[in-house]
Amino acid sequence: MPSARLTDRATLHLSGEEAKPFLQNLVTADLDKLDAGEARPAALLTPQGKILFDFLVSATPEGLRLDVAAGARGDLAKRLTLYKLRARIAIAPVDEAVAALWDEAVPEGALADRRFSGGVFRLYGEAALGAGEESEAFERLRLSAGIAEAERDFPASDVFPHDVLLDQNEGVSFRKGCYVGQEVVSRMQHRGTARRRVMVLRAERHLTPGAVVEAAGKPVGTVLSASGSLGIGLMRIDKLADALRAGQVVSADGVPLETEVPAWAGYTLPDAAAEPAEGER
């Protein structure tokens, strides 16, 4: 079974009887739907609705585990502590191994990574210590699925949850009630004004992260991350749709490429271009 130790990931544990309601009132996902055998995507937003931190949430006997970019763990702990006030919870970093593995079979002790449509799992602690070193293979799997991660693919406070498809994988709940940044995210959902979307990029040659994606000399997106000729880009889908209808070649640094909506995502390219409302660009 292919697997990879993820040394760029770290965990933060929330323990105590109020851990779940505390986090439920802060983050985008509905934690009341969190099952024991899964790791569910979620994000903590700015009041303006942009992602400060994204992570995978899973249940532990004591409360919750947040699987986050290692470089962001300390800042996430500080931010949650600011919100803690009198809540009876403990917030603590835990130095446990993190691993990903992928196969059709469900390994013992593994948690389903709900960002993927199936067959991808997370392991933590001792269970993760025996994982392989196939990090490059996992990176390509992640990119081919169109899954973007904070710190690795985009900086804090730069994108909305819709941009990176959290609205497509239950990383955002539109029914659970208020959380930080909820008003802006709900407005984007109900007005249908999301115009930036992560798409899979397949190029004829090497793709460079940060390169501008163009059509007829006009920008339509940016390469977020790449592995060889495979990558993901944050695309203006209205402008991309116009370019494709006009038969224009889409390229990055002069390298022609094809764009794909991730197979699991439910959005489509718009029929006609429309400018997003103020504050939702």
Per residue in 217-250, pLDDT (tens digit) is 999 999 999 999 999 999 999 999 999 999 999 9
Give the pLDDT of residue 73: 98
250 forms beta bridges with 215
What is the spatial distance between Cα 112 and Cα 194, in angstroms, rounded to a whole number? 28
Yes or no: say if 241 and 264 are a contact pair by the CB < 8 Å rule: no
For residue 272, name the pLDDT band (cuts at 50, 70, 90): low
pLDDT digits (tens, 9 = 90+) for 67-102: 999 999 999 999 999 999 989 999 999 999 999 999
Among the listed residues 78, 33, 36, the one whose alpha carbon sits nearest the alpha carbon of residue 53: 78
What is the spatial distance between Cα 24 and Cα 74, in angstroms, rounded to a whole number? 20
pLDDT digits (tens, 9 = 90+) for 108-144: 889 999 999 999 999 999 999 999 999 999 999 999 9
Among the listed residues 6, 230, 227, 165, the one whose alpha carbon sits nearest the alpha carbon of residue 101: 6
Positive/negative CA dihedral, 176, 177, 182, 185: positive
Give the pLDDT of residue 192: 86
Strand, coil or helix: 17: coil
Strand order in the sheet with 9-15: 3-5, 98-102, 120-124, 111-113, 38-45, 51-59, 63-69, 9-15, 90-94
For residue 273, name the pLDDT band (cuts at 50, 70, 90): very low
Yes or no: say if 63 and 11 are a contact pair by the CB < 8 Å rule: no
DSSP assignments along 230-258, one per residue = EEEEEEEHHHHHHHHHTTPPEEETTEEEE
pTM as predicted: 0.93
Strand, coil or helix: 129: helix
Yes or no: say if 111 and 37 are a contact pair by the CB < 8 Å rule: yes
5 forms beta bridges with 99
pLDDT digits (tens, 9 = 90+) for 176-223: 989 999 999 999 999 988 999 999 999 999 999 999 999 999 999 999
| Alpha-carbon torsion, ordered 157, 162, 165, 169, to 10 deg | 110
Is the pLDDT score of 274 beyond 60?
no
Where do the DSSP E strands lie in the chain? Answer: 3-5, 9-15, 38-45, 51-59, 63-69, 90-94, 98-102, 111-113, 120-124, 196-203, 212-215, 218-227, 230-236, 250-252, 255-260
Yes or no: say if 114 and 170 are a contact pair by the CB < 8 Å rule: yes
Give the pLDDT of residue 276: 46
Among the listed residues 20, 32, 4, 105, the one whose alpha carbon sits nearest the alpha carbon of residue 60: 20
